[in-house]
Structure 1
Amino acid sequence: MIKEQVYRKCLDILNARIDKYKGELEIIKESIENNDKASSDEEGGGTTDFTSAQNKVVQYLEEANQMKDQLKQVDIFQTNEVVKIGSIIETSMGNFFLSIPLGKIELDGKMFFAISKEAPVGQLLLDKQVGDTVTFNNNNFTIKVIH
């Protein structure tokens, strides 16, 4: 089932991001601890840069976890006559997975764009059916298949 494969690929990408951010946080924490030890004999301290980096990574980690939670809410086992969240939409201009804003995903040489319903293209595709045409950025594309 193509939807399940694309869904799993999205989940794999998010899990890899989460692991990466967790690893970065560990490195930053170690750097802060090492910096604190080194600067304990000196005036001041240089942890501001590390703290700023830590805050950014924490934010990225939270966003990735939120996207993962949103993805878990997507029902990929539904079948629809119209485009809904969880649909794979094959069009004359590309393939879309209406789910979360993850971007371009390659699966077995085929490209998909994981988009949210809030994305401009997502809004245009929502509730459309096979044969409908939508226009985005002066490009017309027709829905060929809805999975």
Structure 2
Amino acid sequence: MKEIKKTLYQLCLEYVQKRMEAAQQAINEAQKASNDDTKSSAGDKYETSREMMQQETNRNLAQLNEANKLKVALNSINPENSSDKGETGSVVLTSNGNFYIAISAGVLQVDNESYFAISQASPIGMKLKGLKAGDEFNLNDKIYLIKKIF
């Protein structure tokens, strides 16, 4: 079970790293395009192009900032720790899917099993908080039975 948790944690780290790299690359490309854009006789065209590049850079800086927040959230998790209740860092196996409470990173595959990487602040993350194996909860008219937490 600890190996599954370590693998899920590593997959989340890779997800964040890819987001950070993509945002940084887009920032670099927008800045390069802005620097390469030479002023033509149509000054307004140049200013519009430069403003668009700046907006693109700002968007990507915001994405980089969000990815950094996800990395900080992950850094607060110790994949070696085990818990018998739903909390950040827990893997929760239910009758309607498996969940890793860490960051929202979509569906992760480990040993041909799917795990939904969710944040504690997500609707299902909030429902899982503090629950133990054997507990049930209802989300969107669907009953979830918690089979195991580790």
Q: Shorter-chain TM-score: which interval?
A: over 0.9
**Structure 2: 5+ residue stretches without partners:** none
SS state at 2:18 partner: helix
2:50 aligns with 47
CA distance in structure 2 between the partners assigned to 1:109 and 1:47 by the alignment: 48
TM-score by length of 2: 0.90
1:130 has 2:133 as partner: yes
Q: 1:102 aligns with which of 86, 102, 105?
A: 105
Mean CA deviation greater in 56-65 or 116-125: 116-125
Identity of paired residues, percent?
A: 26
In the TM superposition, structure 1's runs of 4+ consecutive aligned residues that sit over 6 Å from their partners are: none
Q: 1:73 corresponds to which residue? A: 76
Q: Tell me the equivalent position of 2:12.
A: 10
Alignment partner, residue 60 of structure 1: 63
Equivalenced residue count is: 145
- 1:111-126 alignment to 2 at 5 Å? 111-126=114-129
CA deviation after TM superposition for structure 1 residue 115, in Å? 1.2
Scaled by the length of structure 1, the TM-score of the pair is 0.92
Structure 1 unpaired stretches of 5+: none
Moved more, 103-112 or 134-143: 103-112
- 2:30 is the counterpart of 1:28: yes
Moved more, 83-92 or 103-112: 103-112
